[in-house]
Amino acid sequence: NAGVTQTPKFRILKIGQSMTLQCTQDMNHNYMYWYRQDPGMGLKLIYYSVGAGITDKGEVPNGYNVSRSTTEDFPLRLELAAPSQTSVYFCASSYSPGSNTGELFFGEGSRLTVL
Amino acid sequence: AQTVTQSQPEMSVQEAETVTLSCTYDTSESDYYLFWYKQPPSRQMILVIRQEAYKQQNATENRFSVNFQKAAKSFSLKISDSQLGDAAMYFCAYRRGTNAGKSTFGDGTTLTVKP
């Protein structure tokens, strides 16, 4: 069982470039999330989705965009990369919070550097 | 908005000893869940333990247990018989029972285990 798979694991971008972080899960979870983790800090929510076709902004959405065309996939798009977007990005998925397995399942993270 | 505070940026413990990591949170909601996640140097976020707010009994998972004080909004993690493999960053997280189950994370506590 693969769980949550993120690609790429590492990427270096130049200022102004764009890229997409891919995320896919095979657990049939309705809820999916994108977080960023800055050095020495906790996770900040960028965008989230409660099902295919439904997305919404989190705490720090500026400079990002998402789509959710299927239950499995939740890509994160970075437009016009800026040094402030240098971070580690985590995709996560889950069942509803009240279920027995209501915890978040995380991908391995993607380290992005913008120079 | 919900906030999660981990007041100990770093902690250390001798192998086989017991250590307690602190976490406080602020919320006006009644439907929520609390989690401790472990992040080793590999970056993979791993669930340690989960607590439902409506349950008075403290959760336990082998060597890991929590002290959940709902009125005080406190959720500490106790690690007994510490092992070298417990060395990691630990994050306390609050997850809403409604509103897309969004989670708020503390800034983490880095635990060092001394042999």
Per-residue pLDDT tens over the stretch B23-33: 999 999 888 99
Distance from CA of A27 to the nearest CA of B (A): 16
Mean pLDDT of B64-79: 97
Residue B85: pLDDT over 70: yes
Mean pLDDT of B81-99: 93
What percent of chain B lies above the pLDDT cut of 90?
83
Mean pLDDT of A81-100: 90
| pLDDT reported for residue B72 | 95
| pLDDT reported for residue A1 | 65
In whole angstroms, how large is the CA radius of gyration of chain A?
A: 13
B86 SS3 class: helix
For B101, how many CA atoms within 13 A lie in the half-sphere containing its CB?
23
For chain A, the average pLDDT equals 93
Of the listed ranges A1-10, A46-55, A94-103, B4-13, the one predicted with least confidence: A94-103
| pLDDT reported for residue B7 | 96
Distance from CA of B105 to the nearest CA of A (A): 6
Angle at B32 between CA B3 and CA A38, to 5 degrees: 40
Judged by a CB distance cut-off of 8 A, whether residue B107 touches chain A is: yes
Confidence of residue A41 (pLDDT cuts 50, 70, 90): confident
Chain A residues interacting with chain B (CB cutoff of 8 angstroms)? 31, 33, 35, 40-45, 48, 50, 56, 58, 88, 90, 92, 94, 96-98, 102-104, 106, 108-109
Q: Which residues in chain A touch residue B50, judged by CB atoms under 8 angstroms apart?
A: 102-103
Confidence of residue B114 (pLDDT cuts 50, 70, 90): very high
The CA distance from B41 to B34, in Å, is 23
Distance from CA of A114 to the nearest CA of B (A): 20
Residue B104: pLDDT over 70: yes
Confidence of residue A97 (pLDDT cuts 50, 70, 90): confident
Residue B1: pLDDT over 70: yes
